[in-house]
Structure 1
Amino acid sequence: MPLRLYDTLTRSTQHVHPMDSDTVRFYCCGPTVYGPAHIGNFRTFVMQDVFRRVVEADGTITRHVRNLTDVDDKTIRESQKASLTLESFTSEWTHKYHQDCQALNLLTPHVEPSAVAHIPEQVAMIEQLLASDHAYITKDGSVYFRIDSFAEYGKLSRLKEREITTTQVERQQSDEYERESAADFVLWKARRPEDGYNYWESPWGQGRPGWHLECSAMAIKHLGESFDLHSGGVDLIFPHHENEIAQSEATTNKPFVRHWFHIAHLMVDGEKMSKSLGNLYTLADIRSQGFTAEELRYVLLSANYRQVLNFTWDSLTAAKKALSRLRDFKQKLGNSPATNSHDFSVFHPVLVALQTDLNTADALGRLFKIIKTVQSDLAQEKLTPDQIHAARIGFANVMKAFGFSLTDNQNNDAPIYIKQLAETRWQAKQNKDWEQSDALRKELSTAGWTVKDTADSYTIIRL
């Protein structure tokens, strides 16, 4: 059956299927590349990844677009602090982001547009909005969207006109420019001295695009004027996604998006993540404590996406044990041959849970229950070779849907000091210094690690 997913716009659960009867086209708001993405960001990206995997589980084709915000207040400010050009600065953080995505086994989007590369599309969109009187130019050369011109403004967030106050707008928008109404939002920011060389030419003067406009222009460019689904964290519902709807539909006179998919916040030990509390963790922080990227992925998808996820270090320990059980089962069942089959066999109830509003928590519960039954049947030799073969393929497809690789990549995820100890022990062994080799092995064991030697190398394994 097709995936049923909660839609923020209608406040109801709807089937996800391609409006063109061919490809599910969807857009995900990506990172602002001015620093490392934190685990709260990656909760959203992991759930979007699971969404795509579940849609593709029955053979449905997707077109996945996830943008890079490489020009805004933060990227300009931080690049200047680092004494780097905007391009050099954002390229470094984009590379780091891609490394984290690969470690977390996120599928690469089919298109990953950058805001800077789509300035012409944004300028063209503003020209259309100005021509239709949905936008206006201020004295300093900035351009604003006139909210009063769009009667349906607030339909996504259910924000009534009387609730749009100056205080709310100032809290949501860091830049303040002259405008007709406090609720109007910026489409183009006139050049200011503090922007340095980070500006572009437009018919109304030098400047740079507003953040909201960037996503609309890139989405329409790569997915069309109307497409299937748009996704992001719940914090983007207002004003970002509300503004995207207004400026996009005012430009095209067509419905912008059919389905809105939002993921709830992540908290740490019951508290909101913040730099001041020192709990704004990144993947590097997780690894430094001896946990793997796959264990973090397990935690991030272990709870219902519509509920706040409370991250704890204990949850990572639990994830480590759960993934160990999955690896053990995979070993007992045996690897499945390469196949394009979409059959889930005995594991079909897991897929059903995933197709029911991406209920990953229920899906994991069903998975381990089925594993217990299959293991018992294997031990009692109740399964035929064909049933075992089908179970292998079904299990492989379930792991693909969750995005678990179950590979032994302990060497990559071990802390640096553990890697150094292991390498020193290996060299001691090569030098036949058995006393030092044994002492270092004990030191590794005390730290929770061991090594498995082969003829010409070794593997670091967490105990």
Structure 2
Amino acid sequence: MTLRLYDTRTREVRDFAPLREGEVGLYVCGLTVQSEPHVGHVRSAVNFDVLQRWLRHEGYAVTFIRNITDIDDKILTKAEDAGRPWYAHAQAMHRALTAAYAALNVAPPTYEPAATGHVPEMVELIGELVERGHAYPAGDGSGDVYFDVRSWADYGELTHQGIDDMEPAEDADPRGKRDPRDFALWKGWKSDSEPRTASWPSPWGRGRPGWHIECSAMAGKYLGGAFDIHGGGVDLRFPHHENEIAQSRAAGSDFASYWMHNAWITTAGEKMSKSLGNTLSIPAILERYRGIELRYYIVAAHYRSHVEFSFEALDEAVTAFGRIEHFLDRSARTLGGAVDPGVPCADFVAAMGDDLGTPAAVAALHEVVREGNKLLEGGDHAALRGAAGAVRAMLDVLGLDPADPAWGDQGSDEADRLTAAVDALVHGLLEERARARAEKDFATADAIRDRIKAAGVEVTDTPSGPQWTVS
């Protein structure tokens, strides 16, 4: 298989070559469970779910790690505002996130480690950095420990920045830092403002880990010192991923070979975020749309392209995906049952191999659907079976196969009722048209056909009778 991926560090699309033949180690930074997930949150999970599905389809054994950050300044603040313990708040938001992933058929990772379950590994890694001269305890008695950015000559290699061009790190009081860009590895416990339960013992006193050290420690534990792909949202490139790569390599690890980042979903040109107040929660969207339709909307855009969210665009995606579902439904009726997944078409394979080119892959999928609709009219059942099998195979790679048990029957009853209603109405009109033609009232017959076409339904006359598709 030829797979080319865009690597953020080298700024080029290059051939993918795993460290171990037939195996891929993939680490994706998961979410900080501070609040209910919105559509911008889940894009990363969907994009990297497609990546791991494609890798598995191509025969790789994938070890996929997606972490959860369940201790953080924002979690402490949100929990206090909600009037409950921070760990209860984090767990509730974690459950909401898991439900959102399930609603969009995001497959569970191989492991989903939580930060609070790996504090000993983080303390050990910080100790290694201190011993190597790349970290130091603050001299102000705060109990903080910082990474010394000037001790690592390659700091800035991921985002191609010079240290002096960087903004100061804002993750701790700068008084204890040697350089304002130094970032916190360990945060000393603030006994006057933080619960004791949000702290752990360490050689530097009670405290909790900084955000960046968490992912380095968890990636190292489950994937080792060198692994293939590290992914996450584009907003994590700096400072989070820049700091991850610096502290991991400074501790003696090769770390990730490829760095991949998905772009934002924006509203009014701005990143969708809680702080901007422009969020759209997953439960709210799922009151109007099926999860499979929302996933199609996300997947149809290239993972590195920013998406300006709108309900109009989502409605268009619903219509487009409906054409695929309708083809599969009609094929199953014609062939006497659903067709098993077959082999994706060559254009789909080429698109997916070119940096996960899902827009071209989806276009190839729709082309097979169009050809399949013609086969429905022509009566070649063998060719139709091949087309339907190819469609299901491509949908499976994208996590969009309606027959996947993971989708359950979410919203499908309403969709089935709608399809049945349209089918009955169209057939009724076609019967009226047939009667008009039999009576040689061609003006009425043409008028009925125009009414059907104006409703977005294309009718084709075939030897076995008229066939209709959504145009």
Q: Note if contact 1:350-1:364 (Cα within 8 Å) is conserved in structure 2.
A: yes
> What SS is found at the alignment partner of 2:319?
helix
More divergent stretch after superposition (356-365 vs 147-156): 356-365
Q: Note if contact 2:129-2:135 (Cα within 8 Å) is conserved in structure 1.
A: yes
Matches of 1:319 and 1:356, distance apart in 2? 23
Matches of 1:62 and 1:13, distance apart in 2? 21
Amino acid at match of 2:397: A
Q: Note if contact 1:17-1:24 (Cα within 8 Å) is conserved in structure 2.
A: no
Q: Note if contact 2:22-2:59 (Cα within 8 Å) is conserved in structure 1.
A: no
Partner of 1:164: 166
Structure 1 residue 222 corresponds to structure 2 residue 218: no
Q: Note if contact 1:269-1:310 (Cα within 8 Å) is conserved in structure 2.
A: yes
Partner of 1:333: 331
Partner of 1:441: none
CA spacing shift, 1:174–1:391, aligned 2, 3 Å: farther
Partner of 1:397: 393
Partner of 1:81: 81
> What SS is found at the alignment partner of 1:194?
coil
TM-score by length of structure 1 reads 0.82
Partner of 1:143: 145
Amino acid at match of 2:154: E
Structure 1 residue 294 corresponds to structure 2 residue 292: yes
Amino acid at match of 2:201: E
Q: Note if contact 2:33-2:69 (Cα within 8 Å) is conserved in structure 1.
A: yes
Partner of 2:91: 91
Q: Note if contact 1:267-1:308 (Cα within 8 Å) is conserved in structure 2.
A: yes
CA deviation vs aligned residue, 1:179-230 (integer Å, no higher than 9, x gap): 1111111100001122212100001101000000000000000001010000
Matches of 1:396 and 1:366, distance apart in 2? 13
CA spacing shift, 1:296–1:413, aligned 2, 3 Å: farther
CA deviation vs aligned residue, 1:408-451 (integer Å, no higher than 9, x gap): 8354898xxxxxxxxxxxxxxxxxxxxxxxxxxxxxxxxxxxxx
More divergent stretch after superposition (6-15 vs 391-400): 391-400
Amino acid at match of 1:187: L
Matches of 2:125 and 2:275, distance apart in 1? 39
CA drift at 1:38: 1.4
CA drift at 1:2: 3.1
Structure 1 residue 234 corresponds to structure 2 residue 229: no
Match 2:352 to one of 347, 351, 354: 354
Structure 1 residue 303 corresponds to structure 2 residue 305: no
Q: CA RMSD in A?
A: 2.0
CA spacing shift, 1:271–1:152, aligned 2, 3 Å: closer
Partner of 2:267: 268
Q: Note if contact 1:2-1:17 (Cα within 8 Å) is conserved in structure 2.
A: no
Structure 1 residue 380 corresponds to structure 2 residue 382: no
Amino acid at match of 2:151: S
Amino acid at match of 1:142: D
CA deviation vs aligned residue, 1:27-85 (integer Å, no higher than 9, x gap): 00001111112111111111111111111122221110000000010112222232322
Bigger radius of gyration among the two: 2
> What SS is found at the alignment partner of 1:156?
coil
CA spacing shift, 1:274–1:109, aligned 2, 3 Å: closer
Partner of 1:155: 157
CA spacing shift, 1:362–1:208, aligned 2, 3 Å: same
Superposition pairs of residues 250-261 of structure 1, within 5 angstroms: 250-252=250-252, 254-261=253-260
Partner of 1:6: 6
Matches of 2:174 and 2:295, distance apart in 1? 38
CA drift at 1:375: 1.7
Q: Note if contact 1:26-1:228 (Cα within 8 Å) is conserved in structure 2.
A: yes
Partner of 1:196: 195
Matches of 2:146 and 2:135, distance apart in 1? 5
CA spacing shift, 1:164–1:274, aligned 2, 3 Å: closer
Structure 1 residue 323 corresponds to structure 2 residue 321: yes
CA drift at 1:114: 0.3
Matches of 1:142 and 1:100, distance apart in 2? 36
Partner of 1:184: 182
CA spacing shift, 1:276–1:153, aligned 2, 3 Å: closer
CA deviation vs aligned residue, 1:143-187 (integer Å, no higher than 9, x gap): 101111111000100011220243xx33xx366562111111110
Amino acid at match of 1:46: V
Q: Note if contact 1:303-1:361 (Cα within 8 Å) is conserved in structure 2.
A: yes
CA deviation vs aligned residue, 1:313-371 (integer Å, no higher than 9, x gap): 001111111121111111122355557x6x32xx2311221221111111111211221
CA deviation vs aligned residue, 1:72-99 (integer Å, no higher than 9, x gap): 1011222223232232221111111111
CA spacing shift, 1:165–1:323, aligned 2, 3 Å: closer
Q: Using the aligned pairs only, state the percent identity.
A: 36
Structure 1 unaligned regions, length at least 5: 415-463
Matches of 1:174 and 1:276, distance apart in 2? 20
More divergent stretch after superposition (85-94 vs 200-209): 85-94
Tell me how many residue pairs correspond in the alignment.
402
> What SS is found at the alignment partner of 1:195?
coil
Amino acid at match of 1:123: V
TM-score by length of structure 2 reads 0.81
Q: Note if contact 2:368-2:391 (Cα within 8 Å) is conserved in structure 1.
A: no
Q: Note if contact 1:4-1:355 (Cα within 8 Å) is conserved in structure 2.
A: yes
Q: Note if contact 1:26-1:65 (Cα within 8 Å) is conserved in structure 2.
A: yes
